[in-house]
């Protein structure tokens, strides 16, 4: 009997939310596959503004765990002849400024289609238009990250620390953090750095521990502008800050 082949989901790329009349399905999009996270249902009807408000809030709350991991590219899919994705974006702009402004803002895109079941999401993600949209959305997000990086590199503020090597990042992230020491905030690396690193197990362990410690971790396409800048700096960056 042949051993079961291990399926690799890849690294997190974006969040996908398929919105229909009375429900929404949240997906985490990896580089190789999309996985369902949660299905939400409206408690009431779309004719009642309060019910719609609460439904939108439940979607935002469902996005929070992945946002805390560092993935801040979000694509809203709504069914044809509806405007549900734009209504949700309007809700975010009105009630969740932390998602639209500041250093940790998210990048939003919208598309018409169906994204409630695995076959629907597979069909959607195979479309060239969707691949272009996700590329543009993640590029916008990573540009925000590089802006944070450049400010940290160029600042004279001693409260910011930039580490450029795997060894330095390990030393900071793996040890127990003390209040008087810099706290790791972001771990950024390119997909090429991850693929070409001869110590993949060591690197995957660091990524997992960083995620467990709530360090915002992002793997960036090396071909993007942000990825090219990271490559210039060695391919891996850890940003830390004194609290």
User: What predicted TM-score, i.e. pTM, was given to this entire model?
Assistant: 0.83
Nearest-angstrom CA–CA distance, 83 and 78: 7
Q: What is the mean pLDDT of the chain?
A: 90
Counting residues of the chain whose pLDDT is more than 70, the rounded percentage is: 97
Please report the pLDDT score of residue 47 as a whole number: 94
Using CA atoms, how far apart are residues 103 and 143, in angstroms rounded to an integer?
A: 11
121-129: average pLDDT: 93
User: What are 182's two structure tokens?
Assistant: 């810099």
Gyration radius from the chain CA atoms: 19
**What does the alpha-carbon distance between residue 19 and residue 139 come to, in Å, rounded to a whole number?**
24
* 45-104 pLDDT per residue, tens: 999 999 999 999 999 999 999 998 889 999 999 999 999 999 999 999 999 999 998 877
Residues near 150 by beta carbon (within 8 Å), at least 6 away in sequence: none
Contact criterion met (CB below 8 Å) for 177 and 185: no
The backbone torsions φ and ψ at residue 235, rounded to the nearest 5 degrees and listed phi first, read: 100, -15
Residue 142 has pLDDT above 50, yes or no: yes
Mean pLDDT in residue range 183-210:
93
Residue showing tokens 């009642």 = 48
End-to-end CA distance of the chain: 55
What digits encode the pLDDT tens for the residues 162-182? 999 999 999 999 988 787 888
User: Rounded to 5, what percent of the chain is helix, strand, coil?
Assistant: 45, 25, 30
Whether the per-residue pLDDT at 214 is higher than 70: the answer is yes
Q: What is the rounded CA–CA span in Å between residue 210 and residue 183?
A: 11
Residue 69 to residue 76: CA distance in whole angstroms: 19
pLDDT of residue 2: 47
Going by the DSSP 8-state scheme, the letter that residue 81 receives in this structure is T
Domains in the chain with CATH codes? 12-139 (3.30.420.60), 155-241 (3.30.1330.30)
Beta bridge partners of 189: 219, 236
Distance between CA atoms of 96 and 69, rounded to whole angstroms?
Answer: 18
The DSSP bridge pattern shows strands 160-163 and 23-30 to be unpaired
Identify the H or E element spanning 35: strand 34-41
Helices 49-69, 84-95: inter-axial angle, 10-degree rounding? 80
């Amino acid at each position: 009997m042949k051993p079961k082949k291990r399926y690799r989901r890849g690294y997190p790329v974006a969040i996908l939310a398929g919105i229909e009349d009375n429900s929404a399905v949240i997906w985490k999009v990896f580089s190789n596959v999309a996985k369902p996270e949660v299905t939400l249902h409206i408690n009431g009807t779309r004719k009642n503004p309060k019910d719609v408000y609460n439904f939108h809030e439940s979607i935002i709350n469902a996005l929070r765990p992945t946002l805390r991991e560092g993935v801040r590219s979000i694509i809203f899919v709504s069914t044809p002849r509806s405007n549900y994705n734009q209504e949700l974006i309007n809700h975010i702009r009105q009630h969740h400024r932390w998602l639209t402004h500041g250093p940790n803002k998210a990048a939003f895109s919208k598309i018409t289609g169906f994204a409630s079941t695995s076959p629907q999401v597979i069909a959607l993600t195979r479309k060239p238009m969707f691949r272009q949209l996700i590329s543009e959305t993640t590029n916008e997000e990573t540009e925000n990250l590089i802006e944070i990086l450049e400010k940290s590199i160029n600042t004279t503020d001693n409260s910011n620390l930039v580490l450029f090597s795997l060894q330095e990042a390990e030393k900071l992230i793996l040890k127990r953090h003390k209040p008087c020491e810099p706290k790791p905030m972001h771990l950024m690396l390119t997909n090429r750095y991850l693929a070409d690193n001869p110590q993949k197990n060591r690197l995957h362990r660091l990524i997992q521990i960083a995620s467990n410690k709530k360090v915002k971790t992002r793997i960036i396409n090396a071909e993007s502008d942000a990825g090219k800048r990271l490559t210039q700096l060695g391919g891996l960056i850890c940003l830390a800050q004194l609290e």
